Amino acid sequence: MIDVKAILFANAGAMWKILSGPITLLFIASGLAPVEQGIYFTFISIAAIQQVFELGFSVVLVQTYASQNNSREYSDFSNDINVKGLHVFSIVTYFLIALVFYICAYNYGIYIFKDVPEFDHLTLICWRWYLFFIAISLLVIPFYSHMEGGLLVRNVYKSRFISIALSSSILWTLLFFNYGLIALVISQAVLVLSQFISIRKYIYNSCINIFKKRDILYIGFIEFKKASGFQLKLALVWATGYFYWNSYNLIFFKLVSPVYAGVFGMTFALFNAFSVIAQNIVLVNRAKISNAITSNGIDNALRSFKCLQYVSIVVFLICITFLFLLKFILPHFFIFNRILETNSMILLSIMFFCTTAICNYATFTRCFGIEALFKLSIIMNVIIPVITLLYTKFIGLDGLLIYIALAHVIFLLLSIVIIRNFIIRTRLKI
């Protein structure tokens, strides 16, 4: 039976993320000084290292729980000894992940910020508390995963939507009143507290029942080992993905200047928002593609995907064109003083055009239950940051974005070749 409310909350959360992204950038441009803007995006880039420590464990948890649910009632599911064991193991594991993450990320940040005069005592306090709330947010993941795997999907997406909406609203308000980096800290605190409050009864009932059996942690470890093969592959993607998406800001902040890191971070976030909007056209239709594969074969699925890919790329180009037209018509609009100049924006648009197309191809192959672009993704996630680091360190910024854009074009062409071969092999199997 389809849970309509769960779908509504999931879509509402996705739409809020898509629409709130550009709005947040406007408030950042108006509410933060140029150096603060650089520190803001660098805060986020460093804190995102949590995915290196988390390593996609939550995905494995949801899939494992779902496979053991077998359409049972939630009470029967949660009382299963293997499920209880894995739940206990996940809670303990995420506590350790949060602790190690805080220690490593804090010292990593101190290294990045140590030569920045603007990193004063107040900024240091903001950094400590921001990281603290990021670490605390990791502790809610095992409960969300358990609930989602136990078919309490509506509760999970409702909690996430409410917390994201509250957090964004608080961030915009505080940035509007010029609270600077304190706005980021308070909004993250609101996000975490609202998540825990919204599922507080579940957390309480869960914790008082799961620690009663003495060897429950060992049972959970055994259950985790069964899924460790998939976990290893997923962990590699998550770890390398961090460096692909966050290395630019860290490198530019450390080797160029906080101001340039802020300008690049703002532009990168803006184009990424457009890319996410475009990718969602394919993502929300994954079920239709999968259904076409099982019922009508690969040809109908391929036709559906080609249509969706075309619409996705057109939407991305419309967003980019609108941005360039807006810059041409209103060149003195305040946000354009906080992003890269036109030539660099064109090169970034090429990069994100390729990224959007590659991500859509990856989504298509996942509908077959296969990661056809796994190796290419790993290579891409490693090579691009290495090029950025070495070029910036030994040559500078001149021409860097040209090589990054060119590298993305090459990876797009390789992905097209891989997808064509994948389709040929799939047809032969059928």
Question: In the chain, where are the structural domains located?
Answer: 1-226, 257-430
pLDDT at 1: 45
Q: Which of 18-27, 137-146, 348-357 has the highest mean pLDDT?
A: 348-357
pLDDT tens digits, 244-296? 989 999 999 999 999 999 999 999 999 998 998 898 888 777 767 777 777 76
- Average pLDDT rounded to a whole number, residues 5-34: 79
Least confidently predicted of 172-181, 284-293, 396-405: 284-293
Helical segments of 114-227, H only: 121-138, 141-149, 153-176, 181-198, 200-210, 216-226
Can you give the pLDDT at residue 7? 60
Q: 200-217 in b/e burial notation, b at 16+ Cβ within 10 A?
A: eebbeebeeebeeeeebe
Which residue in 94, 86, 66 sits closest to 216, CA to CA? Answer: 86
Cα(422)–Cα(86) distance, integer angstroms:
36
Window from 42-46, 171-175, 210-214, 241-245 with minimum mean pLDDT: 210-214
State residue 427's pLDDT score: 75
- At 264, list the tokens: 């690049």
Q: What is the mean pLDDT of residues 300-323?
A: 92
Is the predicted pLDDT of residue 20 greater than 50, yes or no?
yes
Could you give the CA distance from residue 377 to residue 422 in angstroms, rounded to a whole number?
Answer: 15
**Residues 314-323: tens digit of each pLDDT:** 999 999 999 9
- Determine the Cα angle at 181 with ends 240 and 47, to 5°: 15
Q: Match 């670490």 to its residue by tokens.
A: 135
Which is nearest to 360 in space by CA: 349, 372, 348? Answer: 372
Q: What is the pLDDT of residue 163?
A: 93
Alpha-carbon separation of residue 3 from 9, 10, 291 (angstroms) = 10, 11, 19
346-356 mean pLDDT: 96
- pTM here is 0.84
Q: What is the pLDDT of residue 325?
A: 95
pLDDT at 152 over 80: no
CA pair distance 44, 39, nearest whole angstrom: 9
pLDDT digits (tens, 9 = 90+) for 76-124: 555 667 777 788 888 888 999 999 999 999 999 999 998 888 888 999 9
Q: Is the pLDDT of residue 221 over 70?
A: no
Query: Mean pLDDT of all residues in the chain?
Result: 85
pLDDT at 286: 74
Share of residues in the chain with pLDDT > 70 (%): 85
Q: Is the pLDDT of residue 331 over 80?
A: yes
Per the listing, tokens 């590659």 go with 358
Contacts of residue 215, Cβ cutoff 8 Å, sequence gap at least 6: none
Contacts 24+ apart (CB under 8 A), 230-235: 230/60, 230/63, 231/55, 231/56, 231/57, 231/60, 233/371, 233/374, 234/55, 234/56, 234/59, 234/60, 235/55, 235/56
- Owner of token pair 């620690």: 211
Q: How far apart, in whole angstroms, are the C-alpha atoms of residue 237 and residue 351?
A: 20
- Res 97: pLDDT: 93
Query: Residue 88: its pLDDT value, please?
Result: 81
pLDDT band of 2, cuts 50, 70, 90: very low
Under the banding of pLDDT at 50, 70 and 90, the label for residue 349 is very high
Taking the C-alpha atoms of residue 43 and residue 250, their distance in angstroms, rounded to an integer, is 9
Higher pLDDT, 234 or 56: 56
pLDDT score, position 167: 95
Q: Of residues 334 and 183, which shows the higher confidence score?
A: 183
pLDDT band at 238 (very low <50, low <70, confident <90, very high): confident
